Structure 1
Amino acid sequence: MTTSKDLSSKAQLLALVEANPFIGQQELADQLGLSRSAVAGHLAQLTRDGRILGRAYVLPQRQPIVCMGGANVDRKLRAIAPLHMGSSNPARQHESAGGVARNIAENLARLGLPVHLLTAVGRDAAGQSLLDQLQALGVDSAGSLQAPDEATGSYTAVLDPQGDLVLALAHMALTERLDAAFLRQTAPRRAAASLVVADLNLPRDTLDGLRAEARLRDQRLLLVAVSEPKMSRLGTDLRGVSLLVLNRGELQTLVGRDLPDEDALAQAWRALREAGLKQLVISDGARGVWFSDGDALAVLPAPALDPASIREVTGAGDAMTAGIAAGLHRDPEDLRGACALGLRLAALTLQSDATVSEALGPALLV
């Protein structure tokens, strides 16, 4: 029989866990004036009730990949003829769901993997549509923020007739609300993750907290860059980061110098390794990717594509990151294989008008 004292103890215990998800059982017992065995019993009951995520026995292949970061509406305007700046240009428009973390989550879900997305949207039609689409794809977005006072984010890309990006405008103010308090509130949702994937749209304090959490839990953390201006959010202490995925320009911004050749790239990798980074992947466009191999970098060429088959580039980088995450979910030791899968997904996305290719499926993991 549950007594009123038991209910009070559970409520107090839950409040302490929400304030500090990493608190130990003995510390809880000391603060509540209970025995450690009583605390263990309350934690077990709260886990059975679904109010916290305990140390459940989860089969490794069903551990979720947790993605955290931006979700928005993508609007892509592709010029029909060569662009003339300062003038009106005829174009075709395509609109779809977007956002780096959201795109990665959708790619992973289409591959048949268990995915949880933690993001922020407005309490508007666009935000509800994004969440409904995710649910239909099998992405769990419980715990995501729905703001009543801010519109869902948007990303507008202007493409030339060949599909190459000319200019992009991003309204991502809501992502700033994925702050340290949000990180603490959602910590239990990351507890059972096989891999946490976070984009650099997140605030600096949140990224600092994710690194600390990864070190404490000995959990794998993959960070993905989103733009050169936001590289400053990463900081200089990279301990806790299992893998950083970025392009050459973003790497140059991070290390503060030009990287014109392979030797310069390798020197940059060694500097980041000294700062605590475990692994690095550098996207180099049509040339493929560089990936860390001990102290050195190895290169993997991109699949050859008929230029006529390329629709446009938006989403290809996110597909590559998703492929890398999927590969590491399958085999954490095989970065080369993960990069190869990432390049395959990027190639499929380049041949699609959609930000995430509908050609993706579980068969790609076989």
Structure 2
Amino acid sequence: MDSKKERLLGLVRANPFIGQQELADALGLSRSAVAGHIAALTRERRLLGRAYVLPKEQPIVCIGGSNIDRKLRGIKPLYLGNSNPASQSESLGGVARNVAENLARLGLPVHLLTAVGQDAAGQALLAHARQLGVDTRGSLSAADVPTGSYTAVLNPDGELLLGLAQMDLCERMDPDFLRQCAAQRAQAGLLMLDLNLPRDSVAALLAESRESGTTLLAVAVSGPKMERLPEDLQGLDLLLLNRDELAAATGISLNSEAALNRARKQLGQRGLQRLLLTDGGEPLRFCEDLLGGDWQVLKPPKLKLREVRDVTGAGDAFAAGVCAGLHQDPADLRSACRLGLRLAALTLQSEHSVSPELSPALLER
């Protein structure tokens, strides 16, 4: 063992921003000798990039939408085309933002790259993220466009009847935006994007992943936004979506098991590595070999109807659990799915889009 090199690593662990001259003084070495040790540690992947990032401290970088969630819940069964009495609540939302908050509450290092307006809502979104320990450096703050909003109309049981999204600001997260925040992505241990991003940006991130080898996950947002998924999916490790989104992505009507298999193989032929398919309260499916493998199935925890408070945010919690699991072990998709299901169940039992009951203890089970 090279004791000087190990001591240098210990000093970096204590202070990742320590300078080379400080290291030289502390170790009694020349600056060139310190540079040599740093180069060796970088080759060994024990240090990563600038600021001497340690592998276990690589953040999960979430790129995509942040908005204000407004929920209108019918007090009685809803009748379309009529005025219906409802209760109203408002919270912070957005797929990428919700995933980032879930991950932060699990105690994981998280970086959020998003776009908000320079209004009260936008500043509240960024301030709340920072309070949770989420790094938001590199995010866009626009003076001429309001922060996005999502309005969910729920029936009395908490099921979504209609969702209305005003997410125009996401169009600003274009390839130019990605170039400006490249430094924030360079240190990612895992990268997650949502399909609020423009198609060109999604394609650019896939190309970047092919070159860097960073694990990249994409989370679908809605059926209409599946058109933002490029034809060439090489570089995308995992796609998370539901049946409607899979049908929209492939143009296949999923009315049989054979149709599900055709859709899965089509995505594999386009270069996708792994696929995760949710179906509400039904068992989820995942596949790790889209061309030659079979679906694997996991059942979600059983919840009584009275235990379900609100479905909003449950899908984002599931995605966060998958990200957290793969951040710990990129090869173990089954365990990542189990963690996602636990997080989703907690969120279903909460009135919040992100359950306040999440904690690092969930990663120890």
Could you state the TM-score of these two structures normalised by the residue count of structure 2? 0.85
Kept in 1, the 8 Å contact 2:232–2:270? The answer is: yes
Partner SS state of residue 271, structure 2: coil
Shift of 1:57: 4.4
Aligned mates of 1:277, 1:168 — CA distance in 2: 29
1:311 maps to 2:309: yes
Q: Which moved more, 1:263-272 or 1:292-301?
A: 263-272
Equivalent position of 2:139 in the other structure: 144
Partner SS state of residue 87, structure 1: coil
Aligned mates of 1:140, 1:192 — CA distance in 2: 13
Partner SS state of residue 126, structure 1: helix
Aligned mates of 2:69, 2:226 — CA distance in 1: 22
Equivalent position of 1:271 in the other structure: 266
Shift of 1:188: 1.1
1:191-220 CA deviation, whole Å, 9 max, x = no partner?
110111000000011001000100111111
Equivalent position of 2:85 in the other structure: 90
Shift of 1:55: 4.9
Equivalent position of 2:242 in the other structure: 247
Aligned mates of 2:308, 2:345 — CA distance in 1: 9
Aligned mates of 2:110, 2:263 — CA distance in 1: 32
1:169-191 CA deviation, whole Å, 9 max, x = no partner?
10000000000100111111101
Give the counterpart letter for 1:356 in structure 2. V
Give the alignment's Cα RMSD to 1 decimal: 1.7
From 58, 62, 67, the equivalent of 1:67 is: 62
Aligned mates of 1:55, 1:126 — CA distance in 2: 33
Kept in 2, the 8 Å contact 1:194–1:329? The answer is: yes
Aligned mates of 2:318, 2:298 — CA distance in 1: 13
Equivalent position of 1:119 in the other structure: 114
1:133 maps to 2:131: no
Aligned mates of 1:257, 1:299 — CA distance in 2: 21
1:21-51 CA deviation, whole Å, 9 max, x = no partner?
xxxxxxxxxxxxxxxx9xx9xxx9xxxxxxx
Equivalent position of 1:347 in the other structure: 345
Q: What pairs with 1:1-366 in structure 2 (closer than 5 Å)?
A: 54-55=49-50, 57-294=52-289, 295-366=293-364
Kept in 2, the 8 Å contact 1:72–1:98? The answer is: yes
Aligned mates of 1:349, 1:261 — CA distance in 2: 31
Equivalent position of 1:32 in the other structure: none
> Kindly, what percent of the aligned residue pairs are identical?
61
Partner SS state of residue 285, structure 1: coil
Give the counterpart letter for 1:361 in structure 2. S
Aligned mates of 1:252, 1:232 — CA distance in 2: 11
Total equivalences in the alignment: 318
Kept in 2, the 8 Å contact 1:288–1:343? The answer is: no
Shift of 1:84: 1.6
1:222-257 CA deviation, whole Å, 9 max, x = no partner?
001000001011021000001000001100111101
Aligned mates of 1:167, 1:123 — CA distance in 2: 28
Aligned mates of 1:285, 1:315 — CA distance in 2: 13
